[in-house]
Structure 1
């Protein structure tokens, strides 16, 4: 599923790594850190953005591993 951003989202007591538009997670983890590591690897592989959601559903962190969609240059 290239070109689809990767999201880390809470699901019950676990954290799921989920591609935009997917119905099933690509992986499930007990620890947030493990889910972020798995999501980062997927995002880097496909040069897309990683978005990490908190338990409240709000985006807590985002990293771009390809073309930055916001076009911000440091």
Structure 2
């Protein structure tokens, strides 16, 4: 599996976990919290980055699980 940064993005009334460059979502769930949990697990497994978007599409948060001197805790 290639290392793709993971994005948590709004999808209508739901939230999607989507790999960077992918047109199809990996998962669509009802809450952002659930999408973040899924995307974080994928990003950790792939040693990639996690980008969390707000409802309006703007970036809310970014975490690196790859080669980062100061990786996020948790």
TM-score (norm 1): 0.88
Task: Write out the 4+ residue segments of structure 1 that deviate beyond 2 Å after TM superposition.
Answer: none
Question: 5+ residue gaps in structure 2?
Answer: none
Measured after TM superposition, the shift of residue 3 of structure 1 is: 1.8
Residue matched to 2:58: 58
Deviation by residue 1:1-37 (Cα, 9 ceiling, x = unmatched): 5221000000000000000111110001101100000
Alignment RMSD, CA only?
1.6
Matched residues in 2 for 1:50 and 1:19: separation?
9
Q: Any stretches of 5+ residues in structure 1 without a counterpart?
A: none
> How many residues end up aligned between the 2 structures?
71
What TM-score do the two structures reach when normalised by structure 2? 0.88
